[in-house]
Amino acid sequence: MQTAIIPQQILKKHFGFENFRPLQEEIIEGVLQHKDTLVLMPTGGGKSVCFQVPALLLPNLTLVVSPLIALMKDQVDALQANGIAAAFLNSSMSEADQNVLLERVKENAIKLLYVSPEKLLALLPYFATQIPISLIAIDEAHCISAWGHDFRPEYTKLKQLKEVWPNVPIVALTATADKITRKDIMQQLALQEPAVFVASFDRPNLSLQVRFGVKKKKKMEEITSFIHARANECGIIYCLSRKATEEMATDLQVFGIAADFYHAGMSASDRSKIQDDFIHDRTKVICATIAFGMGIDKSNVRFVIHNSLPKNMEGYYQEIGRAGRDGLPSDTLLYYSLGDVMMLRSFIEESGQKELNLEKLNRMQQYAEAPICRRKILLAYFGETLAQACQNCDVCQAPRQVFDGTLLAQKALSALARTNQNVGVNVLIDILRGSHRKEIIENNYDRIKTFGAGKDKSFAEWQQLLLQMLNLGLVEMAYDDNYTLKITTFGNDILYGKRKIDLVQTEVKAAFVPKNPWGVKVYTEQNTEELLFEQLRASRRVLAEKENVPAYVIFSDATLKDIVAKKPQSLAQFIEVNGMGEHKVKKYGNTLLKELQRWQKEHGIKQPKGNTYKETLALLQQGFSIEDIALTRQLHESTIYSHLAQLFQTKEINDISKYYSESDLALVRKARAETGETKQLNPIYTHLQEAVPHHVIRLCLSVIEREEKDGDD
């Protein structure tokens, strides 16, 4: 009986990774048990694997709802590059092409079908009656919630999916959703007792830096210096207005930087071309409004610059998350001024959900002005506590003075607890400072034990202290409950003396700018491994242009870095490279091996002598078929069978019976006795009137010879 395929085998075979990232395996196991699931995982954290692996293990089609055509194409390109039967269905296709694709879907020739919410709803009766569905994945699920930062009305109709397929599991995935949005997603999609997985939002490979009040001329000098220090890398610069994107791109072009702009006011064809140029590395820097980025899955973006303050933390986190998706070190830089804040406030005054959006802007401004570790603030916003300062943000690189703030924090937390956590920041400060204004007296807040316990601090000082507590995750703000403060688990630990907390002194200090603010290592001469990386990158570019796909679809930068580190000397060793599944080893292994051999020769590095039999053995042990080994090694199948016979002779393989039948063995045994031939194949082949192929004769002779040797022993 054949052993059942497990998720880890799929991960290795198709995606080239030995191990799952945190939570991925648990999520996949739950999905395979038909559980509805909500997944919160940061950009670049591996959300897609959570439904792509189950899709390959489940019998029928997996529908993937995705909001943008470009995003669908990107993910389908990546899946196809891994040898997976995936396709997308959207309005950019002709009706004839759509019909051809739907026939392939009906024949179960497609495992994953990416579709927009509009297209899925339009075809719902067809899918419901004609296509068996195993799984539904809702990508960018925050789009369904009015609380989310990127609400899309068409997503709200997806609640119909549970009505049509009540027994089909739904996995909803997002990179950015606070507690309110998570709750709303589950309700809107009618998920049934969903398993909720919240991965760490920490992206330690991203450096975080904020610059305040830098004049335009100085800012351009800094940005151009920053980009020139990363001459071969790609990045995104987010601007507040369409005009600002055009001005920024023009200014960068003057400094010799391959930059272009992107915004919603451009024609669809212009936007498509600019995005395509960026994806294929023809344009290195895109200056864009937030309209850009959601539709790309580009793994080798090395920096994200915000030319002005984002309007909320969710958007900021998602935008910086477009850097370093491959896990390699990447940089983020945020510039802002009071002018940005005033402009954003004016936008919000004219929009819906004014109070909510103003509060979210306040939190964004507080992050930018905070004197404590930025990563701690960012993670606390998403309900996660970072134990130690990150040492990879501008604040950690220039630490502010801290003190033991446990007692002050306990005073504030105690006062909050005694109001039944039913007040906002200003009322809590009034309680701590002993204010006798009307609202305090009417609610009997003047009678609680901690009334006036913090009167030695000014209102402004308490504002800063409470902001730190909010940013550190001792309290959180309930937007859906009149913006009241709630004590977190971490806050309770502080309140009841289980832990201590350091706070930053509240006096304002001048911003510190390190001598080398970009943290870029300057090389006077490239070392040989850097040259190898560039050589492999050039080879990847040629392959990408030939196949008309982005370079990162062929291999990520992280995969190339792993090749440089491991320097595989055989095709079998390429299987050990992260991101090299079987399909990519077969397709690109020889090209990469030749590049490595050329580099070693150019730099006088002695290459170990290969063993062709061992190479075949290693690939067999990795699960490759004879046909695949021949294709991968660019040899005839007959040669691989001769290797198999030799490996059986030397007892490095103990069973080759699946490659011949017992009747074949009997015929060869008889023909060998009658012809007296023990080595040559042709006499036996002729004697058997060509009834048994040459390669089978070779294998049978090796079996007979080994039997005789074992008998002699």
Minimum mean pLDDT range among 115-119, 174-178, 491-495, 696-700: 174-178
The rounded distance, in Å, linking the Cα atoms of 361 and 685 is 82
**CATH, residue 360:** 3.40.50.300
571 shares a domain with 454: no
Which pLDDT score is estimated for 293? 61
Burial tier of 303 (Cβ tally within 10 Å: 0-12, 13-18, 19+): buried
Residue 521, pLDDT above cutoff 60: no
Percentage of the chain modeled with pLDDT above 70: 94
**CATH, residue 486:** 1.10.10.10
Whether 517 maps to a domain, the answer reads: no
382 shares a domain with 424: no
Minimum mean pLDDT range among 72-81, 236-245, 465-474, 618-627: 618-627
The two three-digit tokens of residue 345, written as one number: 């406030």
Beta-bridge partner residues of 237 = 287, 305
Average pLDDT for 154-161:
87
The two three-digit tokens of residue 542, written as one number: 């040629």
Which pLDDT score is estimated for 306? 97
Residue 511, pLDDT above cutoff 80: no
365 shares a domain with 306: yes
Which pLDDT score is estimated for 460? 81
The rounded distance, in Å, linking the Cα atoms of 417 and 423 is 10
Q: SS3 for 398?
A: coil
Say which residue the tokens 């077969």 belong to: 586
Residue 150, pLDDT above cutoff 80: no
Q: SS3 for 134?
A: strand
Helices within 555-661 (DSSP H only): 557-566, 571-574, 582-602, 612-621, 626-633, 637-649
Of 381, 397, 413, which residue constitutes the final position of a domain? 397
Residue 177, pLDDT above cutoff 70: yes
Residue 291, pLDDT above cutoff 70: no
**CATH, residue 579:** 1.10.150.80
Whether 509 maps to a domain, the answer reads: no
Q: What tens digit of pLDDT does each residue of 450-486 get?
A: 999 999 999 888 987 998 898 788 998 887 788 899 9
* pLDDT-based confidence at residue 3 (cuts at 50, 70, 90): very low
Contact at 8 Å (CB) between 63 and 37? no
Classify residue 46 as left (phi > 0), alpha (psi -120 to 50) or beta.
Answer: left
216-228 and 242-254 helices, crossing angle to 10° = 60
159 shares a domain with 13: yes
Q: SS3 for 337?
A: coil
Say which residue the tokens 């009334």 belong to: 451
Residue 310, pLDDT above cutoff 70: yes
Which range, 124-138, 529-543, 606-620, has the best average confidence (pLDDT)?
124-138
Q: SS3 for 481?
A: coil
Residue 406, pLDDT above cutoff 70: yes
Contact at 8 Å (CB) between 638 and 695? yes
420 shares a domain with 388: no
269 shares a domain with 217: yes
Angle at 321 between CA 278 and CA 22, to 5 degrees: 125
Q: SS3 for 630?
A: helix
Run of H or E including 364: helix 354-369
Of 397, 412, 446, which residue constitutes the final position of a domain? 397
Which pLDDT score is estimated for 447? 93
Q: SS3 for 546?
A: helix
Average pLDDT for 23-42:
94
Which pLDDT score is estimated for 520? 43
* pLDDT-based confidence at residue 510 (cuts at 50, 70, 90): very low
Burial tier of 27 (Cβ tally within 10 Å: 0-12, 13-18, 19+): buried
- Cα dihedral across residues 589, 590, 595, 596: positive or negative: positive
Phi, psi angle pair for 453, to nearest 5°: -70, -15
* pLDDT-based confidence at residue 557 (cuts at 50, 70, 90): very high
Contact at 8 Å (CB) between 46 and 222? no
Minimum mean pLDDT range among 68-72, 521-525, 582-586, 619-623: 521-525
Burial tier of 54 (Cβ tally within 10 Å: 0-12, 13-18, 19+): buried
Contacts of 699 (CB under 8 A, 6+ apart): 641, 644, 645, 648, 656, 659, 660
Compare 598 and 164 and report the one with higher pLDDT. 164
Q: Which residues of 530-566 are buried (b: 16+ CB within 10 A; e: fewer)?
A: eebbebbbebbeebbeeeebbbbbbbbbbbbbbbbee
Q: Give residue 269's identity as a one-letter amino acid code.
A: S
Which range, 89-98, 330-339, 408-417, has the best average confidence (pLDDT)?
408-417
407 shares a domain with 382: no
Strand locations in 163-240 (E): 170-174, 195-198, 206-212, 234-238
143 shares a domain with 228: no
Q: SS3 for 475?
A: strand
Minimum mean pLDDT range among 174-178, 241-245, 436-440, 667-671: 174-178
Average pLDDT for 681-704:
89
Average pLDDT for 422-439:
94
193 shares a domain with 56: yes
Whether 619 maps to a domain, the answer reads: no
Which pLDDT score is estimated for 709? 83
353 shares a domain with 219: yes
* pLDDT-based confidence at residue 678 (cuts at 50, 70, 90): confident
Average pLDDT for 372-386:
89
Average pLDDT for 420-448:
94
Whether 511 maps to a domain, the answer reads: no
Whether 2 maps to a domain, the answer reads: no
Residue 35, pLDDT above cutoff 80: yes
Average pLDDT for 164-189:
90
Residue 679, pLDDT above cutoff 80: no
Whether 675 maps to a domain, the answer reads: yes
Question: DSSP secondary structure string, 254-292?
Answer: HTT--EEEE-TTS-HHHHHHHHHHHHTTSSSEEEE-TTS
Q: Which residues of 419-430 are buried (b: 16+ CB within 10 A; e: fewer)?
A: bebebebebbbb
The rounded distance, in Å, linking the Cα atoms of 656 and 666 is 15
Of 368, 397, 426, which residue constitutes the final position of a domain? 397
Burial tier of 365 (Cβ tally within 10 Å: 0-12, 13-18, 19+): middle
Q: What tens digit of pLDDT does each residue of 581-616 get?
A: 889 988 998 889 888 888 888 877 776 666 788 888
Give the residue from 39, 397, 440 showing the smallest Cα distance to 208: 397
The rounded distance, in Å, linking the Cα atoms of 410 and 493 is 10
Three-state SS string over 81-129 comes to HCCCCEEEECCCCCHHHHHHHHHHHHCCCCCEEEECHHHHHHCHHHHHH
How many Cβ atoms from other residues are within 10 Å of residue 161's Cβ? 24
Whether 510 maps to a domain, the answer reads: no
Contact at 8 Å (CB) between 643 and 612? yes
- Cα dihedral across residues 368, 369, 372, 376: positive or negative: negative
288 shares a domain with 328: yes
Which pLDDT score is estimated for 358? 87
145 shares a domain with 23: yes
Residue 518, pLDDT above cutoff 90: no
Tell me the C-alpha to C-alpha distance, in Å, between residue 332 and each of 204, 210, 238: 12, 9, 11
The rounded distance, in Å, linking the Cα atoms of 255 and 219 is 13
Angle at 367 between CA 363 and CA 373, to 5 degrees: 140
Maximum alpha-carbon separation in the chain = 115
Which pLDDT score is estimated for 713? 59
Run of H or E including 402: strand 402-404
**Full residue range of the structural domain in which residue 412 is found:** 402-504
The rounded distance, in Å, linking the Cα atoms of 307 and 288 is 10
* pLDDT-based confidence at residue 2 (cuts at 50, 70, 90): very low
Whether 518 maps to a domain, the answer reads: no
Give the residue from 65, 76, 60, 58 showing the smallest Cα distance to 131: 60
The rounded distance, in Å, linking the Cα atoms of 690 and 271 is 63
Residue 519, pLDDT above cutoff 60: no
- Find the distance separating the first CA and the last CA of the chain, reported in whole Å: 34
Minimum mean pLDDT range among 63-72, 84-93, 286-295, 301-310: 286-295
Give the residue from 503, 475, 506 showing the smallest Cα distance to 408: 503
Predicted model pTM: 0.71
The number of domains in the chain is 5
How many Cβ atoms from other residues are within 10 Å of residue 704's Cβ? 16
